């Protein structure tokens, strides 16, 4: 009985979802769901190959923005891995810059472990360079970095990024975990917004 009711409701929910997709309020697409899916698979393959002889690795997702990317990337790896999170806040409510602040450190012990930091986006590089400093103080065996997006022309700090999904221009992007004032994190694609609109 319960299963019947559930299947009846599915087409209706799909219709609703489709309506939301064509709404004018949605940000224009910069990177489509398909392109993201393909690139995340490529990254996962590359990382799995590079770490093939390293034993377990620890993926450290940077909250909140990296939660979607980390979920997809981690599930496509073919190497043993564990998951940790670290939280920083680098901006105010919108897109204005500000000092980087540690909100939550990793909970597990990463001493002697191979660490891969997973970021949603590297903009000026301040956040990632600050994070690397904190993580190094925990004494891992190695630290590499992976970001879905990189605004290379905005770089202010020289920071090594080992894996980059896409290089993008100087635009504010949302979706696939990224927000503007906490909005649009759960969009399935990367879209462009104009802060201040």
- Which residues are near Mg ion by CB under 5 A? 62, 65, 120
53 is catalytic: no
Task: Check 53, 105, 123, 158 and give the catalytic one.
Answer: 123
Q: What is the DSSP string of 111-174?
A: TT-EEEEEEEEESSSHHHHHHHHHHHTT--SEEEEEEEEE-GGG--S----SEEEEE--S-EEE
Applying CB under 6 A, the residues found at the interface with ligand IMP are 65, 90-91, 119-127, 172-173, 178-179
Q: Which of Mg ion, ligand IMP, none does residue 126 bind (CB under 5 to 8 Å by kind)? A: ligand IMP
Contact 68, 56 (CB under 8 A): no
We find the least distance from the C-beta atom of residue 152 to Mg ion, in angstroms, to be: 16
We find the least distance from the C-beta atom of residue 127 to Mg ion, in angstroms, to be: 6
Q: Which is nearer to ligand IMP, 81 or 126 (CB)?
A: 126
Q: Which is nearer to ligand IMP, 125 or 140 (CB)?
A: 125
Contact 57, 79 (CB under 8 A): yes
SS3 category, 26? coil
We find the least distance from the C-beta atom of residue 65 to ligand IMP, in angstroms, to be: 5
Q: Which is nearer to ligand IMP, 53 or 197 (CB)?
A: 197
Q: 98: part of which helix (H) or strand (E)? A: strand 97-104
Positions marked catalytic = 123
């Amino acid at each position: 009985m319960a299963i019947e009711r559930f299947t009846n409701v599915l087409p209706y929910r799909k219709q609703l979802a489709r309506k939301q997709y064509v709404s004018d309020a949605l940000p224009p697409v910069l990177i489509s769901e398909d392109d993201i899916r393909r690139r995340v698979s490529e990254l996962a393959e590359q990382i799995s190959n590079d770490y093939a002889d390293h034993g377990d690795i620890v993926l450290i997702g940077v909250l909140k923005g990296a939660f979607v990317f980390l979920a997809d990337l981690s599930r496509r790896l073919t190497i043993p891995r564990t998951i940790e999170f670290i939280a920083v806040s680098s901006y105010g409510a919108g897109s204005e810059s500000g000092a980087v602040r540690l909100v939550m450190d990793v909970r597990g012990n990463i001493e002697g472990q191979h660490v891969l930091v997973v970021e949603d986006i590297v903009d000026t590089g301040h956040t990632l360079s600050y994070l690397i400093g904190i993580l190094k103080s925990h004494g891992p065996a190695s630290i590499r970095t992976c970001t879905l997006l990189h605004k290379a022309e905005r770089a202010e700090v020289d920071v090594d990024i080992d894996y980059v999904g896409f290089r993008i221009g100087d635009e504010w992007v949302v979706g696939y975990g990224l927000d503007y004032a906490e909005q649009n994190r759960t969009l399935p694609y990367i879209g462009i917004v104009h802060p201040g609109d």
